[in-house]
Amino acid sequence: MLLGALLEGETVLLAAGFAAHRGLLDWRLVIAVAVVGASMGDQIAFLLGRWKGAALIERMPAVARRAPRVRELLYRYHAPFILANRFLYGLRIAGPIVVGTCDIPYFRFAFFNVMGALIWAPIIVGLGYSFGAAMESVSHEVRNVELLVLGVAVAIGIGVFIWRRRK
| pLDDT in the model for residue 140 | 63
Using 50 as the pLDDT threshold, list the residues of the chain that sit under it: none
d(CA 23, CA 106): 38
| pLDDT in the model for residue 164 | 75
Instruction: Please report the sign of the dihedral spanned by the C-alpha atoms of residue 129, residue 131, residue 133, residue 136.
Output: negative
Do 57 and 97 meet the contact criterion of CB atoms below 8 Å apart? Answer: yes
d(CA 137, CA 23): 16
| pLDDT in the model for residue 13 | 86
| pLDDT in the model for residue 8 | 58
Helix (H, G, I), strand (E, B) or coil at 131: helix
Domain ranges of the chain: 2-136
Global confidence as pTM:
0.74
The answer for residues whose C-beta is within 8 angstroms of residue 143's C-beta and 6 or more apart is none
| pLDDT in the model for residue 57 | 82
pLDDT (tens digit per residue) in 14-51: 888 888 988 889 999 999 999 999 899 999 999 999 99
